Amino acid sequence: MRQKLTPAQRQIACQSRLFSGLPAELSDMLLDAAHLRQLRRGQAVFHHGDTAQSIHIVMAGWVKLYRIAPNGTEAVVGVMTRGQSFGEPIALRRAAYPVSAEATTDCDLLAVPARAFLDLLHARPEAAIAVLSATFLHLQGLVEQIEQLKARSGPQRVAEFLLDLCPPDAESATVILPYDKLLIAGRLGMQPESLSRAFLRLRDHGVRISQSNAAIASVSRLRDLAHADAGASRIN
């Protein structure tokens, strides 16, 4: 029997890039067709090459999207958390996943059947705007990720990562690193030893790393570092 979504879970789903552009009545139709998946840490969501059947939204926890290179190296493409959706364009084409997805913590996922969304598009063409918006946001995220990897030094990438974890308008903060440092390194396109060096460099900018926490003395100072011209003052 399909578990009924709570009002809080429906609200989380409606924050995703897919649902945020849909009228409430259309969102309700899709959410009524969706089902929850509970995964343990390390459990696969899907594998590279599987045919996409669903669009996924993270309700709680973290999921990594990755590919394995021919030499066996894992390349982390993205890390998704609460309120974020993934796999929209692939699922709507019923194509093969170009990446694998794995729970990096215990997590709850909402699986929205691609068939239900395709049926909605045929019945209500205005829903296509939500798909276009989600695809645009996905491409925008990829462009920003490439810019970060190409134009920013290692410490700047780590600084931006830590800033994303800080509460809005905070001047100082202690944040919890949401997943292990090996995955952080992969997400930022760095080797683990390069990540360790970046953490050491950030000490000069008021950041102290302790186990799974990062104490940030000045968020504005860290932001200045993240947005500095990497070409003018290379700190990696």
Are 78 and 126 within one domain? yes
Task: Tell me: do 28 and 86 sit in the same domain.
Answer: yes
For the chain, the domain total comes to 2
Q: Are both 107 and 173 inside the same structural domain?
A: no
For residue 39, give the 3-state DSSP assignment. Answer: strand
Same-domain status, 109 and 120: yes
Write down the pLDDT at residue 189. 81
- Look at residue 188 in the predicted model and tell me its pLDDT: 85
pLDDT tens track, the chain, 236 positions: 566 788 899 999 988 887 887 888 888 889 999 999 999 999 999 999 999 999 999 999 999 999 988 888 888 888 888 898 898 888 888 899 999 999 998 999 999 999 998 898 888 887 777 677 767 666 676 666 666 666 678 899 999 889 988 988 889 999 988 788 888 888 888 888 999 999 999 999 999 998 889 999 999 999 999 888 655 444 44
Q: What's residue 152's pLDDT?
A: 79
Verify that 27 and 121 share a domain, yes or no: yes
Task: Give the residue from 127, 149, 171 where a domain finishes.
Answer: 149
Q: Do 95 and 114 form a contact (C-beta atoms < 8 A)?
A: no
Q: Same structural domain for residues 22 and 74?
A: yes
Q: pLDDT value at position 121?
A: 84
Residue range of the domain that includes 107: 7-149
CATH of the domain at 165: 1.10.10.10
| In a domain? residue 235 | no
Task: Please give the pLDDT value at position 112.
Answer: 93
| Domain-terminating residue out of 149, 171, 192 | 149
Domain end marker among 100, 126, 149 = 149
Q: Is residue 236 part of a domain?
A: no
Residue appearing with tokens 């390069």: 194
Angle between helical axes of 24-33 and 114-123 (0-180°, round to 10) = 150
In a domain, 234, yes or no: no
Same domain (yes/no): 71, 156: no
- Rounded CA-CA distance 233/138 in Å is 31
pLDDT of amino acid 108? 95
Question: Distance (Å, rounded) from C-alpha 188 to C-alpha 195?
Answer: 9
The pTM (predicted TM-score) of the whole model is 0.75
CA distance 81 to 177: 13
198 and 90 belong to one structural domain: no
